[in-house]
Structure 1
Amino acid sequence: MTSEAMIDADETLARFTRTLRTYDDPHVARVAAALADSTPLSIETPALEPEAWLSVLETTAGELYLAASDDEYGTRTRWYVRHDGAAFIYGTKQIGELYRGPEGTNAYRQVRSVVTNHDVTPYPMGNYPLEVADEYQEVPADQ
């Protein structure tokens, strides 16, 4: 990174950390503490249980998203999960945002799967790389 880009990235990380410190939630506090020990090139994340990550997404709705990657069979998959204040949203780099819904829907099941089976990294919503969808598949998971 150029020095100007690095300075901007440092400032973004510092603002993000300060924002998360305003929440009165122990899980969000752990995320903020990990980010305080991070650099833009090396984001630290706490070892939270899946339910804690889901809680962080709900609590900070609109402030952060989580990203995870998997390189399998020569193909890299990148997942993005977030909460918009009303429902969980799941998407991939290849397809974009796909599912949106509360607990009991495919969106919730997919988000839970990502935070259960992968190391996730929190990022500020200002850096969200997917286009926010106008329509989603909102089929309940049990159908």
Structure 2
Amino acid sequence: MNSSSETKQHDQQSRIVDSKGREWRTHKDKLEQLADLMNEQSIHPLETSDELFYIFDAVISTEEVDFMLKMGGGNQTLKSIRQKVDLSEKEIKSILEKLIYKGIITIIDDKEGNKVYHLMSIFPGWFELYLMRGEKTEESKLFAKRVEEYFEAAYKFGNE
């Protein structure tokens, strides 16, 4: 299922288009790093592929991908995140708020009862949280469509 589509960037302002004609906002190598990081949060890692990365690209901005890669996995306090990313506390909180809304990051209590930020696993985890709001925005429809395509590709791969 791991296809290696070549990507090309037309110019500084344009989107990235792969060999299948799909437009991407973020380079696949960054999305792959994020998928690997999210898989580290799970006892059941999900098979990664271009189809999975394309799901990520539907709803996660390049800025958010870069932020999560710097933040890392595990439980993170706001202070530890501040030490890893070169942003103001206001900017950090703004990005965290968006990622929490999207279900990619959640706030939990650590062993000492402190509130910490935690990067979700992909599935189970993020997919369910994102879809359970039941919103019918263009972004959520695109996300759901790409999730369905991912599982269809996985099914076909498993039945070859």
Q: TM-score, normalised by structure 2?
A: 0.28
Structure with bigger gyration radius: 2
Higher relative contact order (CA 8 A, sep 6+): 2
Higher strand share: 1
Structure with the larger helix share: 2
